[in-house]
Amino acid sequence: MNNPSRPNAGIAISPSRRIRRTPFSDRVEAADVQGYTVYNHMLLPTSFRGVDADYHHLCNHVQVWDVAAERQVQIKGPDADALVQWMTPRDLSKAREGVCLYAPLTDASGRMLNDPIAIRIEENHWWLSIADSDIVLWARGLALGRGFDVDVTEPDVSPLAIQGPKANELITRALGQDIASLKFFNAGWFDVLGRKMLIARSGWSHQGGFEIYLNDSKLGGDLWDLFMDAGKDLNVGPGCPNLIERIEAGLVSFGADTSWDNNPYEAGLARFCHPDRVDCLGKEALISIAEGGPDRMIRGLRFETDNLPPCPGGWMLMDDETYAGNISAAAMSPKFGGIGIAMIERDYLEVGTELIAFTPDGPVKARVCALPMKD
Amino acid sequence: MNNPSRPNAGIAISPSRRIRRTPFSDRVEAADVQGYTVYNHMLLPTSFRGVDADYHHLCNHVQVWDVAAERQVQIKGPDADALVQWMTPRDLSKAREGVCLYAPLTDASGRMLNDPIAIRIEENHWWLSIADSDIVLWARGLALGRGFDVDVTEPDVSPLAIQGPKANELITRALGQDIASLKFFNAGWFDVLGRKMLIARSGWSHQGGFEIYLNDSKLGGDLWDLFMDAGKDLNVGPGCPNLIERIEAGLVSFGADTSWDNNPYEAGLARFCHPDRVDCLGKEALISIAEGGPDRMIRGLRFETDNLPPCPGGWMLMDDETYAGNISAAAMSPKFGGIGIAMIERDYLEVGTELIAFTPDGPVKARVCALPMKD
């Protein structure tokens, strides 16, 4: 059970009220979920058929994902627009309602504390769909300290994602043709189970799809069943963010690929940062990083190997005897072979650079590549 | 595997760099840990021999616990004393170095955001040994917003606990007789593996013991081995906070027994709150709660049953047809029979009150009792 090359493989997660179940957990467990992680103090499935089989199903059919752990931090009140702009270097001055904005959050040193999707619900009313850190505390602390007039809460909102090439077909069958007209990273309010719910064309894969922001926990089972019933002939099945697909797509995981010490430029998010234009936390630090260029940056890797062990803890990347970076995720892709994501020091960022990855199975040649990966 | 009466029982936790391993994880896994929870984005063991066998071993021998997930939030700088006092209704004006202070943290409404042990390392230098929420973000947010001059960081400090009736014998063997003179909830600096480390007489059980604040992750394995080697004839073994023992002892778990909506009076922590004396967040709200008495409060329960199912999600407590409270933890104690912890509405707080618990196995009679439990 405890294989030293596969740390904590197979060890059970203990049920606890502190690790919250989601409105969909009963369905997820009835569908034989094989693994969980914990994200924002909540269960998040990691596998149903095994990572490889999940990948093939996701890339060919359509899946229903319990991503309730993408909690919403609601910021509402007279100073909400000002607070949210203070929290991110992304320029929100032209933010329109119903547009999803990927908005890295930074502290006074420019370090990234989370990388939510920010949605302006209306003037002075935002939802931040967060990665795994307690931004509700950060936002409340900032507001209290500075005297901003806002309410910062976690509403009863639990996203369910529909992902895969047949997502369009499935969602229009279940909820009507109108949704098909949503553009990528746009959101609108639609009738779902007798309520108005926000739906966005978004999700944590590059296979296309939607996220439905369920706003009544009691309806979790019904929402899950709605899609499962409507998609039987589409081979719909349960799913979850997939390690192989997310590496191919270059979807950076906050806390896994980046640490609390990285800045958004290191995370490869320069295009979402406009510290010169806005009055945000870390403005000076971010301007200076943007000018000098970050010391390290996220890149893809292609490994010369037919076999990679699991990489839960990170592997060192070396150039001869010099530290060149840290590999945070790796997997065997049916499309690309051995692939990974790494935080690479600035001297080695050029696509094609050859480095050595120190895996538990020994050194493996790795070549720097761009993200998302392309043949 | 997925038994509806035991939600998420047996489902594996997926290895991830985002869920941090501890300096002791390799030893914990070599010792055949059976379950994990996630606490402050870090692994925390939940069982080695099963909860019952762990309980008997803890109450009769001595255990070494990986409680590295009790992360330290270090607050240091000219305004550190002022910031920490602003964060807690506990009166810190006479806080001496080397004394562990249980210090609930509250927001502007008096809601409890965490319940750390606060240790004043020296003037304007604190460690908050936190429960499971990102207080590093809360403290940084408050400081930034209000312009306090402090550094808020998570240092490389990972507590290892020695718990059980033979803890005194084990620690003095391993680290010298001086430590025996430490009083309960006092801390001092001692020589450990060639470094000075903080050691406190404290821990998350009522069996007596110590917490060693390991301050160099690289020494985790050595520290674990030091105690395991020194205690062979004491029947030393691995352990972890134990469900049965912590219910008997009335050790309230933030996030499990209390929610983010509870205040410290509801959590039963009135004796650590002095909102009338200090300038803290939520001062007015807390004074008003203290005056009127809380609407509900933590109590123990004794069940009239020989058998209880696991209680991971909470059970309702009723007085005939009226809601009387919520049970957050329950277990069969070898000493007391069926026991639990509940947040009980104010009309039912009196010790001896008889209520009905709605368990998945049907209704069970429950009698309110004081905590810690006594025969």
Contact A14 B46 (CB under 8 A): yes
Q: Chain A: give the shortest CA distance to residue B198, in Å.
A: 26
Query: Are A2 and B30 in contact, with CB atoms under 8 Å apart?
Result: yes
Residue B1 has pLDDT above 60, yes or no: no
Q: For B143, which residue in chain A has the nearest alpha carbon?
A: A145
Residue B203 has pLDDT above 80, yes or no: yes
Q: Chain B: give the shortest CA distance to residue A284, in Å.
A: 15
Residue B162 has pLDDT above 90, yes or no: yes
Distance, C-alpha B73 to centroid of its chain? 15
Q: Chain A: give the shortest CA distance to residue B373, in Å.
A: 22
> Rounded CA gap, A310 and A308, in Å?
7
Residue B132 has pLDDT above 80, yes or no: yes
Contact A11 B18 (CB under 8 A): no
Tokens representing residue B19 in the block: 């869920």
Contact A256 B146 (CB under 8 A): no
Contact B328 A17 (CB under 8 A): yes
Contact A17 B255 (CB under 8 A): yes
pLDDT at B8: 76
Q: What integer is the mean pLDDT of B85-109?
A: 96
> Rounded CA gap, A4 and B29, in Å?
9
Query: Are A105 and A87 in contact, with CB atoms under 8 Å apart?
Result: yes
Partner-chain residue, chosen from A37, A146, A148, that has the shortest CB–CB distance to B13 = A37
- What residues does A122 pair with on adjacent strands? A125
Q: Could you tell me which of B133, B151, B137, B164 has the C-alpha nearest to residue B58?
A: B164
- Tell whether pTM > 0.90: yes
Report chain B's terminal Cα–Cα distance, integer Å.
38
Confidence of residue B313 (pLDDT cuts 50, 70, 90): confident
pLDDT at A375: 78
Burial class from Cβ neighbours inside 10 Å (0-12, 13-18, 19+) for residue A306 reads exposed
Residue B9 has pLDDT above 80, yes or no: no
Pure H helices in chain A: 25-30, 51-60, 80-87, 135-146, 167-175, 220-230, 243-249, 283-292
Distances in Å between the alpha carbon of B373 and those of A132, A150, A214, B273, B342?
37, 43, 42, 23, 13
Instruction: Please give the share of chain B, as a percent, with pLDDT higher than 90.
Output: 95
Per-residue pLDDT of chain A (375 residues), as tens digits, is: 445 456 777 899 998 899 999 999 999 999 999 999 999 999 999 999 999 999 999 999 999 999 999 999 999 999 999 999 999 999 999 999 999 999 999 999 999 999 999 999 999 999 999 999 999 999 999 999 999 999 999 999 999 999 999 999 999 999 999 999 999 999 999 999 999 999 999 999 999 999 999 999 999 999 999 999 999 999 999 999 999 999 999 999 999 999 889 999 999 999 999 999 999 999 999 999 999 999 999 999 999 999 999 998 889 999 999 999 999 999 999 999 999 999 999 999 999 999 999 999 999 999 999 999 997
Q: Which 8-state DSSP code applies to residue B233?
A: G
Q: In chain B, which residues have their Cβ closer than 8 Å to the Cβ of A142?
A: 141-142, 144-145
> Rounded CA gap, B26 and B14, in Å?
16
Q: Could you tell me which of B76, B224, B215, B219 has the C-alpha nearest to residue B156?
A: B215
Distances in Å between the alpha carbon of A138 and those of A174, A216, B354?
38, 26, 42
Q: For A18, which residue in chain B has the nearest alpha carbon?
A: B256
